[in-house]
Amino acid sequence: MPNKFYDKPIDEYLPQNGNRGYRVSRYELTLVYKVAGNRLTGRAEITAVTTEVRPRYALDLSQSLSVSKVFVNGVKAAKYTHQRGKLVVTPQQRIPAGGVLALVVQYGGAPKPVRGPWGEVGWEELSEGSLVASQPNGAASWFPCDDHPSSKASYRISITTDTPYYALANGALVGKQTKASQTTWTYDQPEPMSSYLATIQIGPYRRYRVGPAHSRVPMHAVVPPRLRSAFEHDFARQPKMMELFVERFGPYPFGAYTVAITDDELEIPIEAQGISVFGANHCDGRRGYERLVAHELAHQWFGNSLTIRQWRDIWLHEGFACYAEWIWSEASGGASADQQARAARGHLARQPQDIAIGDPGPRRMFDDRVYKRGALTLHALRLHLGDTAFFDLVREWTRRYRHASVTTEDFTDLAGHYSMTSLRPLWDGWLRARTLPQLPSAQGKLAH
């Protein structure tokens, strides 16, 4: 394996992930999945543009899948190797910078999650079906890709599986064809999407419309029939949530929104582009997980439309999604965002103060302190700017960087235009220091 694939990591948090020399613009995945034996066969057509002349190009692909054929620009690759999670392809002829790199990879095997510091992520077999939860580096468990959040592309996903099962993937369902015992579902996702947000959910599900038929954002649920009544109670306020978030965050960034409920229990819900996945345990009939409903919906703006360029900036995803929980609580008759923030700060003050959330380190990027302190950073900014300027800033943030990659510097630079004084002390205290700052007084600063 040439060292040049590893000498300059694209992301220090995931040094093995992502690849240089090209930019993918589209993935077309044609997959067949046998539920009973957990067998996946696939054909991935990857359209990219080269950014430099190289003798070979690499893709991320798990070793649990075997590659049978590789084509480059319509002809067989001169050579390919598949080792240590990298599929390295040598074209028969050099491709000039700015040239088309069209890869076709045929592969198959028994997909399984990728094991890492954050547990197992990627393709997971369920008791009846499968789910995909790829954050941060599990996409390579089911298709060859440039597995890094800054690599965003459009997708077409075709999945053929046993007819009794419902298959859900990102984007709009553009085709469904049943032949004998198998059904092929074809989805198209035109908006750019990071590989970790691509998903397939297969199970004994039915699809239902959620909310009024005239709502601006079509919403659906893909749910086991046994859980439908609990779902309809627990997620009843989701259309109101959508209205609130559109008002506060700006237009919903995708064509529709779907919530999937697995027939199995899940420890935590899962975000995907245009889709949120909850476990059967999250339908408790008591709205016991409504804050998570808000959290996952908010990720459609913060995480899916605006996606971090580097994993160290994950507070931009999780801080906003956590803050959305408090905004929903405030708007729906629960505790105000200020009350939630002060309670969260009190809780954090009793924990070790040994993390700077602007660069928490790879092992701690999913630490709950990143989520809560990220939300507190936004609340401190809201207290500084006042409600009108704060929400104007948030709406400009989602508009300016819609479907793009973002950094902490992008946000702090934009926020600076909304403040009469330097925000540097705020960023230093909340993002760069380990010691937890005090929240400023809310007196007269928040509208209710």
pLDDT at residue 219, as a whole number = 97
Cis peptide before 136 (omega within 30 of 0): yes
pLDDT at residue 445 in the model: 67
What average pLDDT does this structure show over 298-307?
A: 98
443 has a pLDDT exceeding 90: no
- 296 as an active site residue: the answer is yes
For range 380-399, the mean pLDDT: 98
Q: What is the pLDDT of residues 5-26, one digit of tens each?
A: 445 899 999 999 999 999 999 9
CA neighbours closer than 13 Å in the CB half-sphere of residue 320: 29
* Cis peptide leading into residue 253 (ω within 30°): no
Predicted confidence at residue 5, as pLDDT, reads 45
Model confidence band, residue 289 (pLDDT cutoffs 50, 70, 90):
very high
pLDDT score of 1 more than 60: no
At residue 74, the pLDDT reads 96
Mean pLDDT, the chain, as a whole number?
95
In this structure, the strands spanning 200-203 and 257-261 are: unpaired
Phi, psi of 196, deg, nearest 5 = -70, -15
Q: What confidence tens digit (pLDDT) does each residue in 135-187 have?
A: 999 999 999 999 999 999 999 999 999 999 999 999 999 999 999 899 999 99
Percent of the chain with pLDDT over 70: 98
What's the rounded mean pLDDT across residues 19-42?
97
Residue 205 designated active-site: no
Place of tokens 């995708």: 254
- Residue 214 has a pLDDT of 84
**Which pLDDT score is estimated for 447?**
66
Average pLDDT of the segment spanning 76-97: 96
Counting residues of the chain whose pLDDT is more than 90, the rounded percentage is 93
Domains of the chain, start order: 3-202 (2.60.40.1730), 206-300 (3.30.2010.30), 309-432 (1.10.390.10)
SS3 143: coil
What is the Cα–Cα distance from 82 to 193, expressed in whole angstroms? 25
**What is the pLDDT at residue 444?**
66
Spatial separation of the C-alpha atoms in residues 276 and 242, rounded to whole Å: 13
Query: Looking at 296, 325, 330, 418, which residue is catalytic?
Result: 296
How many CA atoms lie within 13 Å of 64's alpha carbon, on the beta-carbon side?
Answer: 18
Angle at 45 between CA 41 and CA 47, to 5 degrees: 155
pLDDT in tens, 319-356: 999 999 999 999 999 999 999 999 999 999 999 999 99
Annotated binding site for Zn(2+): 295, 299, 318
pLDDT band at 442 (very low <50, low <70, confident <90, very high): confident
H or E stretch including 239?
Answer: helix 238-249
pLDDT at 276 over 50: yes
Give the model's pLDDT for residue 7: 57
The answer, yes or no, to whether residue 3 has pLDDT greater than 50, is no
The torsion region of residue 361 among left (phi > 0), alpha (psi -120 to 50) and beta comes to left
Task: Note the pTM of the prediction, 2 decimals.
Answer: 0.96
- pLDDT tens for 225-241 read 999 999 999 999 999 99
Length of the chain: 448
Annotated binding site: 295, 299, 318
- The pLDDT, as a whole number, for residue 2 is 42
pLDDT of res. 437: 97
The yes-or-no verdict on residue 438 having pLDDT over 50 is: yes
